Amino acid sequence: MIIASKKRQENIAEYLLYMWQIEDLIRANGLDIDKIKANVIDKFDLTPDGRKEMIDWYEGLIDMMRREDAQKSGHLQINKNVLIRLADLHQELLKDPRFPDYTAEFYKTLPYIVELRSKSGDTPAGELETCFNALYGALMLRLQGKEISSETQAALTQITRFLAMLTKDYHLDQEGKLFPAEDKD
C-alpha cells in the first residue's frame, strides 16, 4: 500500500508490475486476510493505525478480486485501467510527429514483441501487455532462481528501455507537460 502509492507517483510501470505481484501474493495466501497478516503485514514495523490501513488495503483488494472473478488468474480492473491509459498514451505518441525518438524506440522493440507473442500460447495481448508480461515473467524466473537466456535478456533490455520512455512520458503527461494546452485540439 505504501510502496504501491509511492511507485504509482514515481514510476507507473514499476507500479503495475508491483500490483501484479500483489495480486499473486494474495492468491498465494488463498485470499485469506489472516494468512496475509501472518505472512506479509506482520513483517512490517507499523503503528497500529498503519497496520489497520494495510489490513484495510489488502481486504479491499481481496474483495475486488472476488467481485471481479480474479481469484485464480487475471488482473484487477484498477490495474487494467493503468494498462489502458498507457496504451492510449502509446498510441497518441506514435501518431504525433513530435515524438520521433519514442516511435523509433517502439519500432526497435516491436520484433521482440512479435516474437514473444508467437511463443505465447495465450490469447493475443496488446503490445504493451506483452511487454509487461515479459518483464513480469522474468521477475518470476529471477525470484525462482532460474536462468534467463542471453536472447531473452536482450529482449528484456530493449523492452525495459522502451517502457522507460513511455513511463517518462506518462508522468510528464500527468503533470500536464507532455502536450502543452495550446497543442491540444
pLDDT of the residue at 185: 52
One-letter amino acid identity for 44? F
Q: Name the one residue in this structure whose C-alpha cell is 502543452.
A: 180
Same domain as 166, residue 84: yes
User: Which residue ranges of the chain lie beneath pLDDT 70?
Assistant: 121-124, 181-185
Same domain as 91, residue 62: no
pLDDT of the residue at 117: 87
pLDDT of the residue at 54: 95
Same domain as 85, residue 63: no
| Full residue range of the structural domain in which residue 42 is found | 2-67
d(CA 96, CA 32): 47
| 38 Cβ neighbours under 8 A, 6+ residues apart | none
Same domain as 89, residue 18: no
| 21 Cβ neighbours under 8 A, 6+ residues apart | 136, 139
pLDDT of the residue at 120: 75
pLDDT of the residue at 121: 67
| Mean model confidence pLDDT for the chain | 92
In a domain? residue 72: no
Q: What is the pLDDT of residues 22-60, one digit of tens each?
A: 999 999 999 999 999 999 999 999 999 999 999 999 999
In a domain? residue 148: yes
Burial of residue 66, with CB atoms counted within 10 A of its CB: 0-12 exposed, 13-18 middle, 19 or more buried: exposed
Same domain as 89, residue 12: no
Same domain as 107, residue 164: yes
pLDDT of the residue at 179: 87
Last residue of a domain, one of 67, 91, 115: 67
Same domain as 175, residue 126: yes
Same domain as 121, residue 31: no
In a domain? residue 175: yes
pLDDT of the residue at 62: 98
DSSP letter for each residue of 118-175: HH--SSPPPHHHHHHHHHHHHHHHHHTT----HHHHHHHHHHHHHHHHHHHHHHHHHT
pLDDT of the residue at 76: 96
Contact 55, 41 (CB under 8 A): yes
Task: Indicate the number of domains in the chain.
Answer: 2
pLDDT of the residue at 26: 98
Same domain as 45, residue 84: no
Contact 76, 4 (CB under 8 A): no
